[in-house]
Amino acid sequence: MSNITLTTLLAHKRSGEKITMLTCYDATFAATAADAGIEVLLVGDSLGMVLQGHDSTLPVSVEDMAYHTAAVKRGNKGALVLSDLPFMATATLEQTYANCATLMRAGAHMVKLEGGAWLTEAVTGLAERGIPSCVHLGLTPQSVNVFGGYKVQGRGDEQAEKLKAEALALEQAGAAMLLLECVPSPLAREISQAATIPVIGIGAGPDTDGQVLVLHDMLGLSLSGRTPKFVRNFMQDANSINQAIENYAQAVKQGNFPASEHEFSA
């Protein structure tokens, strides 16, 4: 696979080719996923739950994220590396810039921030300083205590309009990509069609520009024993982890995943 860049992802958006993204936390899986055709490796703060055994992402530190980003960089074979800013890493502009610099030095090509329109100043500042950003909207796990649990976001006309307005404001501010989590499929379609930057979905239906899943989820591994509605276990029809990841990449590219049973209604 030739090196995947933002230009590659924008070309996919314009041509209608789906973008493949998967979480990744170490060198071995970075090499495996890149070989399988995964275009974006998300070093997610989900590592707090799937690797560290916490019940949320909140305990994850910037140091944790930098460590795992560096590990992914060493195993990567041409994918774009996207790294999460963990809980409270964007509390002030100064913190945001310093923490982004740490992740970029560790090997990230782009950083991901959770939030809403309040991030516009930070997004603009990062773009001016040469740091591409992806903004995570909808169900943002770092705000789980505000939401009162892991709940679908953007239901109802008022919530939907607010989320769409925030997405377009963040694009205008300079965001390079958006990620929508647990958003009704019709709203995700609207946002994807209105935005000129790539929009990635997780539990946001089939009409976003690409898909992402947590690696452990799509391999059928879960500490809690609960499988989110938007997850498909790709190990069920595979003889190896490598084949499962290849099957996921192909299913996204061919538009076979997600299916109707993975969607949320408005």
- Residue numbers belonging to the annotated binding site for 3-methyl-2-oxobutanoate: 45-46, 84, 112
Binding-site residue set for Mg(2+)? 45, 84, 114
Cα distance between residue 185 and residue 203, in whole Å: 8
Cα distance between residue 30 and residue 191, in whole Å: 30
Give the 3-state secondary structure of residue 149: coil
Burial class (CB in 10 A: 0-12, 13-18, 19+), 217: buried
* From 39, 166, 171, 181, active-site residue: 181
User: How is residue 69 written in tokens?
Assistant: 């980003």
50 backbone φψ class: left, alpha, beta (φ>0; ψ -120 to 50): alpha
User: How is residue 212 written in tokens?
Assistant: 């992402």
Cα distance between residue 262 and residue 228, in whole Å: 9
Binding-site residue set? 45-46, 84, 112, 114
Tell me, yes or no, if 181 is annotated catalytic. Answer: yes
Cα distance between residue 69 and residue 259, in whole Å: 31
Q: Which residues have a catalytic role annotated?
A: 181
